[in-house]
Amino acid sequence: MDMPVRQQGLAGWRRRMKIVVDGGLMKQCDKNTIEHFGVPSLVLMERAALGVVEEIEGCFQEELQSVKDTSSIEEEMKWHIRREGQGAKAGRDKDLKKRNKKRHSALAVCGWGNNGGDGLAIGRLLWQRGYDVTIVMPPGNGRLSEETRTQKEILNNYGITAEEAIPDKEFDVIIDALFGIGLTRNLEGVYREYLMGMNEKEGLKVAVDIPSGIHADTGAVMGIGFQADLTATFAFAKPGLLLYPGAEYAGRVLVKEIGIDAHSFLQEKPSMYCLEQQDFAWIPKRKAHSNKGSFGKILTVAGQKNMAGAAFLSGKASYVTGAGLVRIFTEDKNRTILQQLLPEAILTTYEGTKFLAESLSEAISWASAIVAGPGIGTGKAAKKLVKTILKQAKVPVVLDADGLNVAAEFPEWLKEAKASVIVTPHLGEMARLIGKEISEIQKQLVETAREFAKEYHVICVLKDARTVTALPDGRAYMNTSGNSGMATAGAGDVLTGVIAGLLGQGMEPEQAAPVGVFLHGAAADKKAAETGEYSMLAQDIIDGIRAVLWEKEGKT
């Protein structure tokens, strides 16, 4: 495929992915929509409020429907009707209608900014739909935004006034509209008291745009955070809703359309994306007229003595992802066990370092993608393996595990690489690569990955509960698939094999890395749905890959 067509394909891929924007870009989009396109701010606010109200109403409808749909209740009703006649049915229908007409109560705690204006509009719309609404705002009106002042005046015209303290009673729904995406300081004083009071209540907790106290860009908790069951965010997802710990506070996240879309970026384009199920369509289709060479030749350089498992897991994952041939380059003592575990693999083995570079060079010239690092150790042989691969490979390289530990000693090798390199460090490996503490990296997950990718001109897959894939040009992909069952030995080896398998089938490195991460997590989610997260093994993730790709083929 020629270069212009390939670039057009990649551009189309990005256009279709879910966009994630940070607080600064979201504010600019809001401003562009108002000032450039002329959409009044109050119109956006009303649409935002209506979107939240619809979600609140939907939650109560789901609760009611679940009661209606409970088979045991239906069977009980049928039994009573048969036994007691139509009189019993009429009485029970009356009770059900009475329950349906229950007047829900709502508490909306609103700040002075436009997020508070959203909350005031939400309160009014719920009041108009029959809710018993209580509005709470901090004392004083001096810092109200223009739109929020207007919303408060509208409420006053309806005879609804704001209170300054949260009532000591329960509500069916608690709405957090204190702070939006602009918060940069820890919450103290009355705001802390408000959030503590709201968190203690039992009703449905709904955050407007982002839970108050959560940093929109990093997901950090600014002293205290609103613990939402549901967050209705506007136009685009925000990083702080997806990254931990913010994701734990956001609950279920729904992106609501309010009139701000991709047109509102104007000249400044988004640089962060989040893959979804539909993006599996970018995995190349398998042609009927093909052979094993058509789907890639993966060289897996892995496994020193007593570490055959890493080579096995990575190699098998490449095969299951669709690679045509896997060649494992490993220490000779692993030969017998790998022949038993993965007879489909081609084996090339070595002893010591004599003729190691020559043997590896031949294998490199054979490959269409290379995995380097799982279980190779950090000794003399490992250093020679990594150096030879990075200096000689002309095909994409996935560098992982011990390969990264070697690179931490010789970072200049990354800059000297001739081919595309995808590095896949977990937090500990990244700490060794850049000389920072793990806690510091966790606070700046996206920026850390971006800076490393730019400095070394590699694709950086920084693995955590929310894995971030960063490209040298600053684009980043945030992964939301996966679960705690993946915190198990060998899961990273499986990921390298998945990415390599996609590379072998012709995916560009900038596609294969984020799609591979998403596929890896989706496979674990598939297995967790069957067996749970506690007992998950790396091989279970490989089984999950089969199931996910089976669905992609439309076989379910």
CA pair distance 250, 272, nearest whole angstrom: 19
- The predicted pLDDT at position 139 comes to 87
Average pLDDT over residues 443-464: 97
Side chain identity at residue 174, one-letter code: I
Contact 122, 49 (CB under 8 A): yes
- The predicted pLDDT at position 61 comes to 82
The percent of residues above 70 in pLDDT, for the chain, comes to: 89
Task: State the pTM of this model.
Answer: 0.89
Residues 420-452 pLDDT 10s: 999 999 999 999 999 999 999 999 999 999 999
Contact 516, 279 (CB under 8 A): no
- The predicted pLDDT at position 330 comes to 98
- The predicted pLDDT at position 77 comes to 47
Element (H, E) at 358: helix 356-366
Buried b (16+ CB within 10 A) or exposed e, 438-473: eeebbeebbebbbebbeebebbbbbbbbbbbbbbbe
125 Cβ contact partners less than 8 Å away, ≥ 6 residues apart: 49, 50, 53
- The predicted pLDDT at position 104 comes to 94
CA pair distance 411, 196, nearest whole angstrom: 48
Residues 207-260 pLDDT 10s: 999 999 999 999 999 999 999 999 999 999 999 999 999 999 999 999 999 999
13, pLDDT greater than 60: no
Average pLDDT of the chain, as a whole number: 91
Residue 14's pLDDT band (cuts 50, 70, 90): low
- The predicted pLDDT at position 142 comes to 72
CA pair distance 407, 412, nearest whole angstrom: 8
Residues 284-341 pLDDT 10s: 999 998 999 999 999 999 999 999 999 999 999 999 999 999 999 999 999 999 999 9
67, pLDDT greater than 80: no
The percent of residues above 90 in pLDDT, for the chain, comes to: 86
What size, in residues, is the chain? 556
Residue 405 CB: number of other CB atoms within 10 A? 19
User: What kind of architecture, by CATH, is found in domain 290-521?
Assistant: 3-Layer(aba) Sandwich (3.40)
132, pLDDT greater than 50: yes
Average pLDDT over residues 472-477: 97
536, pLDDT greater than 50: yes
**Both tokens of residue 464?**
């955590």
Residue 14 CB: number of other CB atoms within 10 A? 16
Average pLDDT over residues 484-496: 98
- The predicted pLDDT at position 385 comes to 98
Which CATH superfamily groups domain 22-73+101-270? YjeF N-terminal domain (3.40.50.10260)
**Both tokens of residue 500?**
């390599």
Average pLDDT over residues 387-399: 98
403, pLDDT greater than 90: yes
Average pLDDT over residues 264-288: 93
Domain ranges of the chain: 22-73+101-270, 290-521
Residue 11's pLDDT band (cuts 50, 70, 90): low
DSSP state of 492: H
- The predicted pLDDT at position 440 comes to 96
Residues 24-64 pLDDT 10s: 999 999 999 999 999 999 999 999 999 999 999 999 887 65
More confident residue, 65 or 123: 123
489, pLDDT greater than 60: yes
CA pair distance 178, 245, nearest whole angstrom: 19
